[in-house]
Amino acid sequence: MKKKIMYSAIQPSGKLTIGNYVGAVRNWLRLQHEYKCYFAVADLHAITVRQDPEALRKRTLELVSLYLACGIDPSVCTLYIQSQVSAHAALCWTLNTVTYVGEASRMTQFKDKSQKHSDNINMGLMDYPVLMAADILLYQAQYVPVGADQKQHVELARDLALRFNSRYGETFTVPEPLIGKDEGRIASLQDPSKKMSKSETENPNASVYLSDDRDTILRKFKRAVTDSENCVRFSEEKSGISNLLRIYCAFKGCTIAEAEREFEGKGYGTFKLAVGETVADVLTPIQSEQARILGDRAYLNEQLAKGKRSASYAAWKTLSEVYRKVGFYRGD
């Protein structure tokens, strides 16, 4: 039986957080053997906010190495850099013509980022979800594993696929988001009402980065905002502790109920230390593997060239079909 197709990507726009790991990469590891997977480094998306060119290039390779170090296996899936496959920008242009300005300007992330980068509200920022739809639709992906913050964008991709199909005839698979129930939204350790973010600059203790060393990880969890009840239980009113429980369970591989039982009668100090240690135990070997892979440029380039070939092949197949449907002359 033909495997179903799955697509996801991460922007090389800052240091990855445990939110990106838990909400995205960790799920990909499980899914890569079940589905035909495409995983990209979304550098075209990253330049919608200002980037230092040298730093962007460096972070792109770091992200590829991190995917590999986490266990993404290039022999079973396609791992590539988005800007190396020009079909993404080409399909984005075509999809722009079936996207309404109203729906693009209503996207929550566009509104948030416009506020945050008020000196640089560029067209790319508004077009971000259309490019994301192009990514997904080019590969005829059925599933898109992302964190909860990207649900609205995948829904736009669905709407655009349905609209294009009804206007031009069946062309795109209509995708669905795959979002983990508990781990889809990892919150800031300092303000649990906000998501943990790569671009956090105000409070250095709010985000735990995948590159943080053990002491930094333990210190950040020690300082995490909690409440005064001193009882480890999951509840919507206890957003700080619930967030730590989500993180603990994701890294430990246990359920919330199991974790609540484990910490029954124990105080927040003990719990926070256990969360920090569990996270550090998972991240330390990933960090050394990433450093090893990053040092092997020949291997990285070889994997990326292979990924580019495989992605380009699939993408051009869809793009040619789209160009034929919209009425572009193809010379045949």
Residues identified as active-site:
113, 195, 198
Among 5, 7, 35, 68, binds ligand TYM (CB under 6 A): 7
Nearer to ligand TYM, 74 or 184 (CB): 184
Alpha helix stretches (DSSP H) within the chain: 18-20, 26-31, 43-46, 53-70, 87-96, 101-105, 108-116, 123-138, 151-168, 214-222, 239-252, 256-262, 268-294, 297-326
Other C-beta atoms within 10 Å of 324: how many? 14
- Binding characters for ligand TYM, 249-268, by CB under 6 A (x = yes): --------------------
Cα dihedral across residues 248, 254, 255, 258: positive or negative: negative
Residue written as token pair 């600059």: 201
> Read out DSSP for 263-276?
TTT--HHHHHHHHH
d(CA 246, CA 161): 34
Q: How far is the CB of 209 from ligand TYM (least distance, A)?
A: 12
Nearer to ligand TYM, 42 or 232 (CB): 42
> Is 79 a binder of ligand TYM (CB under 6 A)?
no
Q: Are 320 and 90 in contact (CB under 8 A)?
A: no
Q: How far is the CB of 264 from ligand TYM (least distance, A)?
A: 27
Question: Which of 58, 10, 67, 44 lies closest to 293, judged by CA?
Answer: 67
Q: How far is the CB of 171 from ligand TYM (least distance, A)?
A: 18
Among 61, 69, 85, 144, binds ligand TYM (CB under 6 A): 144
> Is 156 a binder of ligand TYM (CB under 6 A)?
no
Residue 173, phi then psi, degrees to nearest 5: -70, 140
**In the range 181-210, which residues lie near ligand TYM by CB under 6 A?**
184-186, 195-196
Among 149, 176, 191, 289, binds ligand TYM (CB under 6 A): 149
> Is 88 a binder of ligand TYM (CB under 6 A)?
no
Token reading at 30: 């499980």
Query: For residues 250-269, b (16+ Cβ closer than 10 Å) or e, as one string?
Result: bbbeeeeeebeeebeeeebe
DSSP symbol at 224:
-
Nearer to ligand TYM, 231 or 256 (CB): 256
Binding range to ligand TYM, per CB under 6 A, among 6-14, 164-172, 255-263, 267-275? 6-14
CB-closest chain residue to ligand TYM: 23
**In the range 286-315, which residues lie near ligand TYM by CB under 6 A?**
none
Q: Are 192 and 245 in contact (CB under 8 A)?
A: no
Binding range to ligand TYM, per CB under 6 A, among 1-9, 63-71, 89-97, 322-330? 1-9
**In the range 9-68, which residues lie near ligand TYM by CB under 6 A?**
9-11, 19-20, 22-24, 42, 45
Q: How far is the CB of 309 from ligand TYM (least distance, A)?
A: 20
Residues 6+ apart with CB under 8 A from 74: 68, 303, 306, 307
Binding range to ligand TYM, per CB under 6 A, among 54-62, 131-139, 249-257, 292-300? 131-139
In the complex, the residues that contact ligand TYM under the rule CB under 6 A are 7-11, 19-20, 22-24, 42, 45, 132, 135-136, 144, 146-147, 149-150, 184-186, 195-196
